[in-house]
Amino acid sequence: MPAWWTAAYYELIKYARMRSVLIILIGLPLLLILLLGSAFDTEIKPAKIALYNADQGEMRASIDAFWSNEAVKPYVKVLDANSEKEVKDWIREGVADYGVSIPKNFSSELSAGETAKWSTFEGRYEEKNIAAAAFINKYMAAVNLQAAALQILGPELNAGAAQSQAPAGQSHIETKNLSSGDNQAFGKESAMQYYSVAYLIMFLLYGGMTATIALLNQREAGTLQRMYAIPGSFRAMVFGIILGGVMLAALQAAVIIAFTSFVYGVDWGNNFGAITLTCLLTTAAGAALAITISSFVRSKKSTQTLFSIIVFSMTFISGGMIPDIVKMVGGLNQWTLNHWANDALRAIMNGEGSATVWNGIAVLGAIALGITIIAVIRLPKVVRQHA
């Protein structure tokens, strides 16, 4: 087995036994994605409405058409109940978000020109109650307007009022999605997608730093000095240690993408090759940046502090914490690693053309290559005790 592969393998085994590292690199980004994605995801899901219709009169067909209209399905999901008591039970148990009971004399009251009413029951969630009530009130306003016209203009409108399907054929509620759309803060993605990309990239950069920390630990322990006496290539051993950190970051990316996809419902798109390349370039850039920093500051603590400040600043400037911040920084976000990595992944998510995707990857690759060249030049300062 090659020396570099042996070193990489044992580095990966070492990381697997360090629970705190795994929690920070894998558990923490998943928690942040969940908290921020849920907090800023203001899309109102369809309200589940428990419906009991006891009316068998002339308005029955209009009511059925109203609830089965295709225009209402994005906003409400109807659950047919067998009694008003069942409606109340479903609301109490949380099976439904809102309840409606239509009395058996609804059609007769409407035909007589009286004010017609439905019994409604609010559920646990205020936003669902508001959406359902607005939806139902629109229909009730229309039918009661017919009743008022009938009372004023006389019985000649009776047949038209009974047969009218106009309220059922219209979309009675217009819902705006605050978490998506080209004019919204998160662009075309949902809040969960937006923060999944932002924190995947941020913690991949931190994952790249683990390789540098491993080198510094072994330098301080004198392990690197003893490696000079081992037959074989010292450079291969150093490369293996760095590769172990990169392999950890690859595992980190795979877990975050798989978990957010299957548990949080994040759609990462279908171009897994481009996603993999973006993650690898980000990790390589993170490792190279950490090596470059450590070659100047020398101590492990100073490296961690300065690296964290740089990564945090790049994440903030690129909109990873506040989406609208990119409008205030005057293009400064384009000078960060995060910006180009985020752009590439979001282009993949949105199914944009390959030119847009590969443009972001190309710029990211150029930045990673430049930092890597500097890191290779400065590497002797990191691995040698008195360099």
My answer on whether 9 and 63 are in the same domain is no
The arithmetic mean of pLDDT across residues 256-268, rounded, is 89
Q: Does residue 149 share a domain with residue 72?
A: yes
User: In which domain, by residue range, is 62 found?
Assistant: 47-163
Least confident of 149-153, 154-158, 220-224, 296-300: 154-158
pLDDT band at 301 (very low <50, low <70, confident <90, very high): confident
Based on the fold, state whether residues 114 and 152 are members of the same structural domain. Answer: yes
Q: For residue 25, is it within any domain?
A: yes
> 59 lies in a domain?
yes
Which CATH number is 100's domain given? 3.40.1710.10
Q: Between these two residues, 179 and 271, which has the higher pLDDT value? A: 271
User: Where residue 162 falls among pLDDT bands split at 50, 70, 90?
Assistant: very low
Give the alpha-carbon dihedral of 344, 349, 354, 359, to 10 degrees: -10
Q: Are residues 69 and 14 in the same domain?
A: no
In a domain, 170, yes or no: no
Whole-Å CA distances, 166 to 69, 149, 379: 12, 15, 76
Mean pLDDT of 353-357: 82
My answer on whether 279 and 193 are in the same domain is yes
Q: Smallest Cα–Cα separation from 59: which of 133, 190, 182, 147?
A: 147
Q: What is the mean pLDDT of residues 149-167?
A: 50
Q: Are residues 112 and 191 in the same domain?
A: no
Residues 239 and 101 in one domain: no
Average confidence (pLDDT) over 72-86: 82
> Do residues 288 and 200 both lie within one domain?
yes
**pLDDT confidence of residue 37:** 81
Q: Is 120 helix (H, G, I), strand (E, B) or coil?
A: strand
Q: What angle do CA 230, 233, 239 make, to 5 degrees?
A: 115
pLDDT at 184: 54
SS3 119: strand
- Both 159 and 197 in one domain: the answer is no
What band does 20 get if pLDDT is binned at 50, 70 and 90?
confident
Residue 25 identity (one-letter amino acid): L
In a domain, 181, yes or no: no
- Answer whether residue 168 shows pLDDT above 70: no
Residue 177 lies in a domain: no
Q: Is the pTM of this model over 0.75?
A: no
Identify whether 179 is part of a domain: no
CA atoms within 13 Å, Cβ hemisphere of 324: 3
Q: Are residues 363 and 232 in the same domain?
A: yes
* Domain shared by 36 and 69, yes or no: no
Position 120 pLDDT exceeds 90? no
Domain count of the chain?
A: 2
What is the model's pLDDT at position 53? Answer: 85
Encoded tokens for 250? 């690859």
Check if the beta carbon of residue 305 is closer than 8 Å to that of residue 312.
no
